[in-house]
Structure 1
Amino acid sequence: MQVMFYRLSESPVAAALPLLASKTLERGSRLLVVEADPTRAQALSDALWGWREEAFLANGLSGGDHDTRQPILIRPDVGEGEPANGASFVAYADGVWREPPPGTERVMLLFDEATIGGARDTWRLLADRDGVERQFWKQQNGRWVQGP
C-alpha cells in the first residue's frame, strides 16, 4: 500500500482535493474521501462538483441511495469493510490518520499546519510497517513536488 503525505501550504484542501481526485479517476480507480466535519464534507463535495467550468467530479455524501455508484464517496469515517463504492484509494481530507479499509491500494493524507503534528506521528508509525511505501509531497509554486 502506498501512503502519500500531502502538505497543504499554498492552498486549502478544497482546492487540492479535486486535482488528486481527478488523477485517481483517470487511473480507473474510485475514491473514498474521509472528512469528519459535515460542513467541510459538504464544501468538499461542492468543490468537486464545481472543479472546472468544463468538467466536474461526480461525487456523493455517504448515506444516499446511490453510494455504490459514486466514483467519489465522501463520509465521516472509513467504516467497516470495503467502502460502499468499492474505492481502492482513500483520501483523509481532515488530516487525521485512520487505519484504511481492506483492499486499499493508496492512502492520501492531506494535512496543513493545524494537523502537521499528527502527520509526523503517522509518518513515524508507518516507518517499519511491512508492505507500506511512504511518499511526502509538498506544494511549491502551485505544483506538487516530492519532498525529501
Structure 2
Amino acid sequence: MTPVFFYHLERHPLEAVLPKMLSTSLERGWRVSLQAGSEERAEALAAILWTFDDDSFLPHGTKADGFPDLQPIWITDSDENPNAANVRFYVDGAEPGGIDGLTRAVILFDGNDAEALERARAGWKRFRAAGHEISYWQQDEQGRWQNRAT
C-alpha cells in the first residue's frame, strides 16, 4: 500500500516549503506530479518554481507547456499522472484519487484554514480505513518537520 504523508502547514506558507520538498523528491530520483486545486493555482505554482531561488529552478511543466513525459515535475489541477510520477503531491484542497502503486502520496494543508483541516481529517480516516500507512508531520519552532503521529 502507498504510504500517505500529511504535512500541516502552520509556520510557513506552501510557497515557502514546496520548492524544498520537490527538490528533495528529485534528489531521490523520483518523478513528481503536483495536483493543485485549480488551473490558475497550478500555473501560479509553476511560476514560483522558476523564481523561488535566484540561483536555481526546478524543472517542471504544465499543460500549457506540454510534453508531460519529459517533465520531472508535472503540475496539474486534475487527477492525472502523464509523466509517470511515482510521488504525488496534493495541495490547496486537491482531492487525491487513486494512489495505489505510488512510492508516496503527500498531502499538504493549511493549518489556519478550518476547511483544509477538515479535509485533512477526512483524508486521514479514509486512507487509514483503506489500509495505507499514514503519517502526520508538523513543523517545530525552528521550522524542521517532526513526525507527530502514525
Normalised to the residue count of structure 1, the TM-score between the two structures is 0.88
Q: CA deviation at 1:147?
A: 1.1
Match of 1:127 in 2: 128
**1:51 Cα deviation after fit:** 2.8
DSSP-derived class of the 2:122 partner? helix
For residues 102 and 2 of structure 1, what CA distance do their matches in structure 2 show?
Answer: 9
Task: State the match for 1:7 in structure 2.
Answer: 8
Residue type matched to 2:118 in 1? G
Moved over 3 A (4+): none
Report the 3-state secondary structure (helix = DSSP H, G, I; strand = E; otherwise coil) of the residue aligned with 2:79.
coil
Q: Which runs of 5+ in 1 are unaligned?
A: none
**Over aligned residue pairs, what C-alpha RMSD do you find?**
1.6
Alignment partners' CA distance in 2, 1:111 and 1:135: 14
SS of the equivalent of 1:142 reads: coil
- Please state whether the residue corresponding to 2:95 is helix, strand or coil: coil
Return the TM-score normalized by structure 2.
0.87
- The runs of 5 or more residues in structure 2 that have no matched partner are none
Q: SS state of the match for residue 40, structure 1? A: helix
1:109 aligned partner, one-letter code:
I
Deviation at 1:8, TM superposition (A): 0.6
Offset, 1:122: 0.9
- Name 1:61's counterpart in structure 2: 62
* Corresponding position: 1:138 with 2:143: no
Structure 1 counterpart of 2:102, from 101, 104, 115: 104
Name the aligned partner's letter for residue 53 of structure 2.
R
Offset at residue 102 of structure 1 (A): 5.0
User: Following the alignment from structure 2 to structure 1, what is the Cα–Cα distance between the partners of residues 6 and 100?
Assistant: 20
Percent identity at matched positions?
32
* Residues 133/41 of structure 1: CA separation in 2 closer, same or farther (3 Å cut): same
Q: Which moved more, 1:90-99 or 1:17-26?
A: 90-99
